[in-house]
Amino acid sequence: MSFGRLRIGCALVAIGAAVLSGCGSAQSSKRAGAGPRTASTAPIPHARPQVVEPTAGAAAPTVVPPKPTDPIGDPNAHAPPISEVRHELRLEAVAVFPTSAGYTNPLYYVTCCGRWERTDQGVDATMPVGAPIVAPGKVKILAVEPDWYLTQPLVYWELLDGVDAGRVQYVAEEITDIARPGSILPQGAVIARFAASGTGIEFGWSTLNGITLAAATTGYEEGQVTPAGVAIREWLNALGAKAGKS
């Protein structure tokens, strides 16, 4: 093809493109409700794509993560033995809510056949050897302190039902045959039995870590009458224990 024909062909293509562009602009103006538009003399921008290729033999950039701000723990620490883990699990309290379930007198054998004594951190009492201290309702045995007073133990449990669900009680001193920590007992089940020798028993309100409620709140000195001790005697009397006045 000659140079003259090439120029004529290019001119015809340009005129056709301009006619189509004008038609599209007119239709667009009608759809948008716009008035007549004047031709712009500004040059039409054209995209200029570029391809960036890696240089042969160049190493990939290294991405360095930011330094963590939170501690990651002791790298020399060791996991606790499974026996310790199981012990901690036994001590966990149960999430419970008060219910309408009633309680039974846990110290029935003091009422019928034993003797109520002083009020201090809790209520002191004696009962026949081998007589049981029973669960006043459904309970979970939390733990046993083997040498709580004069080498005598203390066991504490959580009440799982009734109006006092979630509260913790204990019985201590002259007891034996204690229920296993972590066990859940139904109402009336044996928590412990009165031992053949010792300093009698003490029954009262406790805390989750085994410290008596009296010691944890108002403090305690030997023989002192505490609000926690008065409260547990009233609680027992409400169950028909006939524990007398403080």
One-letter-per-residue 3-state SS of the chain: CCHHHHHHHHHHHHHHHHHHHHHHHHHHHHHHCCCCCCCCCCCCCCCCCCCCCCCCCCCCCCCCCCCCCCCCCCCCCCCCCHHHHHHHHHCCCCCCCCCCCCCCCCCHHHHHHCEEEEECCCEEEECCCCCEEECCCCEEEEEEEEEEECCEEEEEEEECCCCCCCCEEEEEECEECCCCCCCEECCCCEEEEECCCCCCEEEEEECCCCCEHHHHHCCCCCCCCCHHHHHHHHHHHHCCCCCCCC
pLDDT for the residue numbered 123: 97
Note the pLDDT of residue 209.
85
Predicted local confidence at residue 52, as pLDDT: 53
Walking along the chain (246 residues) 10 residues at a time, the average pLDDT comes out as: 45 45 41 42 54 56 53 57 64 88 97 96 97 98 94 96 97 97 97 97 94 91 91 97 90
Q: Which CATH number applies to 108-238?
A: 2.70.70.10
> Would the pTM count as exceeding 0.75?
no
* pLDDT value of residue 29: 37
Residue 221 pLDDT: 84
